[in-house]
Structure 1
Amino acid sequence: MEDWRYNKARRRVKKVKGFYVHLSSWLIFTVFFLFMNFSGGRSSFRTIFPLFPVLAWGVGVLFHAIGVFGIPGLGKDWEDRMIDREMDRIDREDQLEDWHPDSDALDSPSSHEYTEEEPPLRLKKLRKDPRDSDFV
């Protein structure tokens, strides 16, 4: 039983190690490209040329990081929260579809008494004055 956990942890550690090797090599070559750029002459091509490989490789490092660590905030717990939220929304829609206007609740509005477990609903006060940021 412990064997599969060890193998999974080992694969994960290898992925993280691979990312750190990739990141450190990118940093070393970025410093090298910048040093070569500033130590040479001042032609316009020479000053912008190092940006192309540094930026392209940096995008590769970014995608490698996303592949290893994932996108922050979009992990398994985020997916579970969104599934729960969607199921609640579907339940509310089903309750609204089951409600009929000729039910007994409309005939006697005071038939439902509030208890301590069920406080009355509070409405949120709306702003009356619009702000400049509200307009496009």
Structure 2
Amino acid sequence: MQTDYRQEERFREAKKRVEELKGFYGNLTSYIVVNIGLAILNLMTSPEQLWFFWPMFGWGIGVLFHAMKVFRFTPFMGKDWEERKIRQFMEAERKRNESFKSE
């Protein structure tokens, strides 16, 4: 029974990861196609003003953060940080409950 639950939980987690990856690759594909189109449009209409770099840069920042989330690269507040904070809050709650019981 317990094994079935764990297997089902792992399946749900794997399915969620696949959906995240599909979303990221869709975003990346759109980014590439649209920015190639903008570059062509810009170079054909006004090559003296290279404005296509601005949307490429802005959207690129979004794609970068999306990649960091999907591939779980969070140098500031990663999974280890979350787990430490959860343990810290649980320990503080346990101590607070013990102090109320002793009174």
Normalised by the size of structure 2, how large is the TM-score? 0.63
Corresponding position of 1:65 = 67
1:40 counterpart = 2:45: yes
Distance 1:51 1:39 in 2: 15
Structure (1/2) with the larger helix percentage: 2
Identity percentage of aligned residues: 32
For structure 2, the 5+ residue unaligned runs are: 85-103
Offset at residue 73 of structure 1 (A): 7.8
Deviations 1:2-54 (A, max 9, x none): 2111111000100011000000000001100110111113443xx2x211111
1:56 counterpart = 2:45: no
Normalised by the size of structure 1, how large is the TM-score? 0.49
Q: How does 1:1-136 map to 2 (within 5 A)?
A: 1=5, 2-44=7-49, 47=50, 49-71=51-73, 79=80
Output the aligned Cα RMSD. Answer: 2.1
Distance 2:12 2:33 in 1: 32
**Aligned pair count?**
75
Tell me which amino acid in the other structure corresponds to 1:68.
V
Higher RCO (Cα < 8 Å, 6 or more apart): 2
2:46 match: secondary structure? coil
Tell me which amino acid in the other structure corresponds to 1:62.
L
For structure 1, the 5+ residue unaligned runs are: 84-136
Q: Structure 1 5/39 Cα, relative in aligned 2: closer, same or farther at 3 Å?
A: same
